[in-house]
Amino acid sequence: MGLGVKRNEKCWCGSGRKFKLCHLARESQAPIKEWEAERAFRDEFRKPTCSAPVDWHPCCSGRIIRAHTVPRSGSLNRIARDGHVYAFIPTIENLNKNAGKLDPVLVGVHSASTFTGFCSVHDDAIFAPVEKLSFTASAEQCFLLGYRAMARERYTKESSVRMSSIRRLADRGKGVDRQIEVQMLNQLFEYGLAAGVEDTIAQMEGYSSRLMTGDYGDVRAYVIETVDPPPVMCSAGWLPSSDFDGNELQDIAAPKRLAAMTVTSMWGGTKGAIVFQWFAQDDDVCRRFIGSLDRVDSAGIGAALVRLMFEHFENVHISPDWWEGLPELTKSSLIHRMARSANMFARQLDKPLIDDGLALPEWKIEGRFTIGYTREG
């Protein structure tokens, strides 16, 4: 069945190719092999690039490294056991094996939280203030944590765009009805992905301009200090859509510039730190988000942060002792949250960050303070 499309006409799926070269007899084609998809996934998410400002590229070393998003020596080693932490690795094999869910696996700290997103010269030069010095929550240090988190977000989204051709082959060997369903889902996903790439490119332009001038006057940050290393560490950027009270902050489907924020959970040298960073132009959304977090009492702050990290990010790294000490039902609940983050077709909750009553070990909070603005309340 050709849905009324002639052989030499453009295919109905939107690929831009002729129907005869695309979906003609697609139901008779052999399904894409898992190893083919896995190889493409691995290749696209390891492409080397340097996320330093474009004007600095002439000084690149030419050697792209596996740059750490969470500082390795000062952070991951503090929660590792025998040099390993738990992480969620979103491979196609793992997703198929667990029916779309991911179980955390032990990974070495040398490879955990890395991406091939900086050359050796710029990774060392740009991030020396957070890699080689104790964390004092200066505006520069908070900015650099945000820069690296947003650079990874752009890298991940652009890698996902390059996976488009593989996603389009997911309906090989399936009936026409299923082909239509798969391609419609692909189109919806790629529409959102294109908007996400546009947002992160704009965000990175802002980070790059501030890095080149060294002007961090409009940097905002909210810092939570912990007595012990945070048992869950991450580095990520996102567009906050709702807060911890369940209030909508912005419509992320709206065709306009959206407010963005980053978060880094780490060990700062003498204490733990969870650093939320944004720019003054995004105060309206980001300060409302932070206000809802600031109202969470110290006993519940750890659970609130875990909800955020497991709901919205896959770049999380977990203390083996902390994870293995959780009850099985608690682990299952957190894995289910992570599945929504990893599955591009999963239905998202309307109010994902409100307290769900899940009991988690308390994080010992030493203090909370702001950078660039006055804390309310």
pLDDT greater than 50 at residue 6: yes
Domain annotation covers residue 184 = yes
Q: Judge if 5 and 146 occupy the same domain.
A: no
Residue 99 lies in a domain: yes
- When mean pLDDT is compared across 41-50, 221-230, 289-298, the lowest value belongs to 41-50
pLDDT tens across 172-185, in order? 889 888 888 888 88
Q: How many domains does one find in the chain?
A: 2
The owner of tokens 């961090």 is 216
pLDDT at 346: 58
Average pLDDT of the chain, as a whole number: 88
154 and 203 in a single domain? The answer is: yes
- Shared domain for 81 and 24, answered yes or no, is no
Looking at residue 19, the DSSP 8-state letter turns out to be G
Q: What is the largest CA-CA distance in the chain?
A: 68
The parent domain of residue 290 ranges over 31-371
Average pLDDT over residues 312-318: 91
The pair phi, psi for residue 348, each rounded to 5°, is -85, 150
pLDDT digits (tens, 9 = 90+) for 270-287: 999 999 999 999 999 999
What confidence score (pLDDT) does residue 345 get?
56
Q: Which residue has the higher pLDDT, 44 or 48?
A: 48
Res 341: pLDDT = 62
pLDDT exceeds cutoff 80 at 1:
no
C-alpha to C-alpha distance for 163 and 166, rounded to whole angstroms? 5
Does 243 lie in the same domain as 119? yes
CA-based angle 75:364:108, to the nearest 5? 25
In a domain, 294, yes or no: yes
For residue 191, pLDDT beyond 60: yes
pLDDT digits (tens, 9 = 90+) for 100-144: 567 899 999 888 888 888 999 999 999 999 988 889 999 999 999
Query: Is 39 in the same domain as 19?
Result: no
Residue 157 corresponds to which tokens in the numbers above? 């989204």
State what percent of residues in the chain have pLDDT above 90: 54
Q: 351 Cβ partners below 8 Å, 6+ apart?
A: 242, 246
